[in-house]
Homo-oligomer: A and B are copies of this chain.
Amino acid sequence: MADQKKENNDFIHVHEDVIERVNGSMPDDEILYELGDLFKVFGDTTRIKILYVLLESEMCVYDLAQVLNMTQSAISHQLQILKQNKLVKFRREGKTIIYSLTDSHVSTIIDQGMEHISE
């Protein structure tokens, strides 16, 4: 390791020390997969729009469909995904079900994304 001489032509440009250090700081694959899944949720315009709307006001499914000018079914499917990723919560009120955001990470993540693209 201390001896930098290359005895054969393996590892010509692989910097093992950096690679080991970096590997140490890398979270488990399972966590990274979860993280990717979370960002996939933000990677669709329809879901972003839903989140944007809920950032402003809680809303029922039918109204969401109206605002976004989309099918009730399409909205329900997307709400399902947002629900699975714990980005939205819901409560029943009579016949309707009202959705709202679960936490403040949504707004931070969207804000940072906005800052990045507006540069």
Given contacts A22-B53, A48-B36, A67-B22, whether A105 and B109 have CB atoms under 8 Å apart is: no
Q: A1 to chain B: which residues have CB within 8 Å?
A: none
CA–CA, A105 to B62, complex, Å? 35
Residue among B52, B57, B108, B115 making CB contact with A27, cutoff 8 Å: B52
Residues B105 and A38 in contact, CB atoms below 8 Å apart? no
Per the bound structure, the CA–CA distance linking A45 and B115 in Å amounts to 23
In the assembled complex, which residues on chain B have CB atoms less than 8 Å from the CB atom of A48?
32, 35-36, 39
* A29 contact set on B, CB distance < 8 A: 45
Interface residues of A in 33-84 (CB under 8 A from B): 33-45, 48-49, 52-53, 55-57, 59-60, 62-63, 66-67
